[in-house]
Structure 1
Amino acid sequence: MLQKHEICLVLMAAGSSTRFQKMLPFEKKVKKQWLRLDSKPLWKKVLEDLMALDIFGEVVVGMDENEILYAQNFCDVKIVAGGKTRTQSLKKILEHVQSPYVFVTDVARWDIDRDLCLKLVSLCKEYDCVVPFISCVDTIYYKDKAINREEVKLIQTPQISQTSKLKIALDKEYTDESTAMLDHNFRVGFVQGSHKMQKLTSLEDLRALVNQGKYSPSENIVTGSGIDIHAFVEKKPMVLGGVTIESPFGFKAHSDGDVLLHALIDALLGAICGGDIGEWFPDTSKNYENIDSKILLEKIRAFVVSVGYEILHVDVSILAQTPKISPYKKQIQEKLAELLYMQKNQINIKATTAEGLGFVGRKEGVCVMVQATLKFIDYREIYASINY
């Protein structure tokens, strides 16, 4: 049996969930690793279940690089950036691994079989790689010929490998560790796997999660607030809420200066505890110089949804002595509904003056405040919709 200091847990959670998201409505394209069990993301549930085995001296989680800072709100383990493919992700993660053995599993195998995991650990010193498999009970055809199902193995994770040999084996793209190890003539041991650890890949695979009954997303509502202020500058178009406003001046800013969209971005980030607009789009970066703020909003909207949230309501307060906002309120409401993939009745626009007081009253700039209300995407509703 391995000692605790000899084995590293690697949780693969950097996937794009392309196949899973393809079947979702656009406004609910959550990544499967961010489906919520109460308020806990699925990847954290898997991580906690594995750490409860108490056999790992080292833990590394691979994440999409855009999710790392956000994911660190949920745990204290090492989280590193993955790559575009599973092999690229694993190679990058292994650069951070010091242990002689590595226990690699995919977050999609969310229902952990404790006994299987411990059995793999007990056998791993006998092989260079030990891997679970499921026997095939159905007739199998390859092209137009039946093949012997007794010789077919459906491979699962977790898989345990000698770290040094796995690093050598990953010299091209592979779908799992055992394939890479066999391809390099390393010893691979096969262990009967567990039907409990089926992979969550498609919406239909939500059946096991939903039918267990003990898992459901929290029904709590979260809110976030955003405020932004921009001074006027001459000879620049004014854009507010994605709408061009007739005005002799625009907003002084590194980007296009859309003060409303900037406040909206901060409100969305505030609701999910995702930082602020300056962290995501620093005004020291040339990448965002004069950028259309609708592009920035779309990046944040997509992120908010991908990590498990649905936007319910947006309330906007515009404080402006000039220009007059009232003629544009309906256009702004319609534009925000378009940008956020929401209905107009979910978006409220208010406008007021500063009664001549302060920098707004002196007609030096505009201030916008936004409140956003969100909830977790309910995968039970999604599953029910495909089984109606």
Structure 2
Amino acid sequence: MPENSRPEKIWALILAAGRGSRLAAAIGGLSKQFLCWRGVPLYWHAARTMSRSAVVDGVVFVFPPERCAAEEETLRALHARDDLGLLPWLTTAGGALRQDSVRLGLAALPRETRYVLVHDAARPFLSPALTRRICEALRRGASAVVPGLPVTDTIKLVDNGLVTATLPRARLAAVQTPQGFDLNLLRQAHRHAQEAGLTVTDDAALMEAQGHDVHIVPGEAANMKITNPEDLALLAGSQTMPRPCTGMGYDVHRYGPGRPLKLGGVPIPDGPEVVAHSDGDVLLHALMDALLGCAGLGDIGRHFPDNQARFEGISSAVLLDQVLEMLYGAGVTLCHADLTIVAQAPRLSPFREEIRKNVARLLGLDKAHVNLKATTEEGLGFTGRAEGIKAYAVVSALTGAAPSFSTSIPSPDL
């Protein structure tokens, strides 16, 4: 699996080695990270999000030692049908404690890794935007970054059933994962903890113990951890009957000096340049308009106007992430995308499958639910004269759809 070319690599550890005793009895003894939700284990949802963030270079899955071989087989099957794109993955065995699993996961990271994200597999609801926030803080020089939320309840210290103090709520934060770190400093902190016999509940505490500043970025209320039996309701969701909806999108770009041709996030070598304010990905622009149409949210010109400097040259994949967040916020669940590219030149058939797979990855869909067609207009009109390129997108979705989960483990022939 190829690696991203960014000079400072950011890899993620997805911790799936815990026993989850509080929830196991409610789901037939199965550890929560292996719970099957929307057809895949919880740990795969985090990997999908990491792949869509456009800032993570690879993932290490940390499993219980006795499940490593089986889960690696499951991962190969998952990746075959639900490609993570350019995101490589590795597996390693964890330890008795979470802290041990992190230390062993750090040892499995590639040599060129500079930063690491540590994430609990039982938090399947993180967003690409949260991942990017943490990585941006690391690249700005932070040694440790955690996402946090304000504490809304009053917190009291208790000893033997008696309140001994009331903590100032304004100074408290509930922290989440992923937590981001300078890899070398985190490894040093783990070595120190091992030598000193120090046990903590998260890696930020190890960094604090070493005197490093831990920066906080806004967390997400939706980024909840599946821990107790009642948390299964988060996966079961609403029982409201879903309603089908359809969105249609269209976009066009003129050929001329400007941006290198990119379609569905895939660069087209030796293709003509396009005139555009963003990166000019005509296919993703049509797709975003179709998605917005499903939720009745207008079009990309309304949300990302081309007269704003902050959108100049921006990756359309980043804009697509924002559109998907709007879609999910509106209670819409994407089901299928049918895409058509119209161009006399260049010849697109060699890139069709790569584009299709990458769009499926960006949407978080099985590639069987993304269709891509490329055609010409036989010399007619501006596309026929090779003056430009256009794309159509039709997407189907459900509003008010309830997510599903099961206790069955996906078979290797997914």
Q: Shorter-chain TM-score: what band?
A: 0.5 to 0.7
> What pairs up with 1:173-184 in 2 under 5 angstroms?
173-184=199-210
How many residue pairs end up in the alignment? Answer: 215
Q: What's the counterpart of residue 7 of structure 1?
A: 10
Q: What's the counterpart of residue 102 of structure 2?
A: 90
Secondary structure, counterpart of 1:195 in structure 2? coil
Structure 1's 168 and 34: CA in aligned 2 closer, same or farther, altered over 3 A? same
**Are 1:4 and 1:56, in contact at CA under 8 Å, matched by a contact in 2?**
no
Q: What's the counterpart of residue 114 of structure 2?
A: 100
CA drift at 1:212: 5.4
Q: What's the counterpart of residue 151 of structure 2?
A: 136
Write the letter of the residue equivalent to 2:130: L
**Which shifted more, 204-213 or 130-139?**
204-213
CA drift at 1:57: 2.2
Out of 26, 44, 69, the residue aligned to residue 24 of structure 1 is 26
Secondary structure, counterpart of 1:75 in structure 2? helix
Out of 235, 243, 249, the residue aligned to residue 209 of structure 1 is 235
Q: What TM-score do you get using the length of structure 2 for normalisation? A: 0.49
Deviations 1:112-148 (A, max 9, x none): 1221111111111321101111111111111112221
Structure 1's 178 and 45: CA in aligned 2 closer, same or farther, altered over 3 A? same
CA distance in 2, matches of 1:81, 1:4: 28
Structure 1's 100 and 212: CA in aligned 2 closer, same or farther, altered over 3 A? farther
Out of 121, 124, 131, the residue aligned to residue 135 of structure 2 is 121
The question of 1:377 aligning with 2:377 is answered no
**Are 1:44 and 1:74, in contact at CA under 8 Å, matched by a contact in 2?**
no
**Are 2:123 and 2:224, in contact at CA under 8 Å, matched by a contact in 1?**
yes
The question of 1:66 aligning with 2:66 is answered yes
Q: What's the counterpart of residue 52 of structure 1?
A: 52
- Tell me the percent identity: 23
Write the letter of the residue equivalent to 2:219: G
> What pairs up with 1:140-155 in 2 under 5 angstroms?
140-143=155-158, 144=163, 145-155=165-175
**Are 2:156 and 2:166, in contact at CA under 8 Å, matched by a contact in 1?**
yes
Structure 1's 54 and 213: CA in aligned 2 closer, same or farther, altered over 3 A? farther
CA distance in 2, matches of 1:208, 1:167: 34
Structure 1's 20 and 3: CA in aligned 2 closer, same or farther, altered over 3 A? same
Write the letter of the residue equivalent to 1:139: T
Write the letter of the residue equivalent to 1:179: A
Write the letter of the residue equivalent to 1:162: D
Structure 1's 213 and 52: CA in aligned 2 closer, same or farther, altered over 3 A? farther
Secondary structure, counterpart of 1:60 in structure 2? strand
Write the letter of the residue equivalent to 1:160: G
Structure 1's 213 and 111: CA in aligned 2 closer, same or farther, altered over 3 A? farther
CA distance in 2, matches of 1:43, 1:213: 24
CA distance in 2, matches of 1:169, 1:89: 14
Out of 218, 222, 244, the residue aligned to residue 192 of structure 1 is 218
Q: What TM-score do you get using the length of structure 1 for normalisation? A: 0.52
CA drift at 1:187: 2.0
Structure 1's 376 and 108: CA in aligned 2 closer, same or farther, altered over 3 A? closer
CA drift at 1:33: 0.9
Structure 1's 129 and 8: CA in aligned 2 closer, same or farther, altered over 3 A? same
Which structure 2 segments of 5+ residues have no match?
77-88, 241-404, 410-414
**Are 2:37 and 2:235, in contact at CA under 8 Å, matched by a contact in 1?**
no
CA drift at 1:38: 4.0
CA distance in 1, matches of 2:100, 2:189: 12
**Are 2:52 and 2:128, in contact at CA under 8 Å, matched by a contact in 1?**
no
The question of 1:165 aligning with 2:195 is answered no
CA distance in 2, matches of 1:92, 1:123: 25
Which structure 1 segments of 5+ residues have no match?
215-374, 380-388
CA distance in 1, matches of 2:47, 2:126: 10
The question of 1:75 aligning with 2:75 is answered yes
**Are 2:36 and 2:42, in contact at CA under 8 Å, matched by a contact in 1?**
yes
